[in-house]
Amino acid sequence: MNVEQAMDKLKSEGYKYTDKRFDMLTLFSDEGRYLAAKDVLESLQVKYDGMSFDTIYRNLSVFTDLGILEATELDGEKRFRFSCDTNDHHHHLICLECGKTKHIHHCPMEAAVSEQGFQVTGHKFEVYGYCEQCQ
């Protein structure tokens, strides 16, 4: 998925084109890492003067609902990243400093769970630390 495809998806679902949505998606596409709402605001308010959290949050929510972004939560803060190819199930190494990620192509679910009577609906495997630049 790239920015154009994401905007197409928006339109096909009845959402309108706006420069701010385009710029938000471009930001996520360019960065390719987890960003918090405040990171998005910081980036966009350079260009848009009155830009506030409301629009950010509302659009993040729209994007996530449409599967354009994927979300995780760290230290009570939601973070979002451009959705990776969903056909390729994987997990992330996440840098606690800059939010950059690396893929982990090993999913522990296969080996881990042999529980009877527990209906699994989801799982989370994340490794935290510091990337080469941030150490």
Partner DNA sequence: CTCCGTGCAAAGCGTTTGCACGGCG
Partner DNA sequence: CGCCGTGCAAACGCTTTGCACGGAG
- The annotated binding site for Fe cation is made up of 89, 110, 123
Indicate which of its own copies, DNA, none lies near residue 50 (CB less than 5 to 8 Å, by partner kind).
Answer: DNA
Pair of tokens at residue 70: 């994927």
Nearer to its own copies, 2 or 109 (CB): 109
Segment contacting its own copies by CB under 8 A, of 15-23, 43-51, 81-89, 111-119: 111-119
Contact window for DNA (CB under 7 A) among 32-40, 95-103, 117-125, 126-134: 32-40
Closest by CA position to 43, among listed 26, 62, 60, 67: 26
What is the CA 43 to chain-centroid distance, rounded?
16
Q: Tell me how far apart the alpha carbons of residues 82 and 2 are, in angstroms, rounded to a whole number.
A: 9
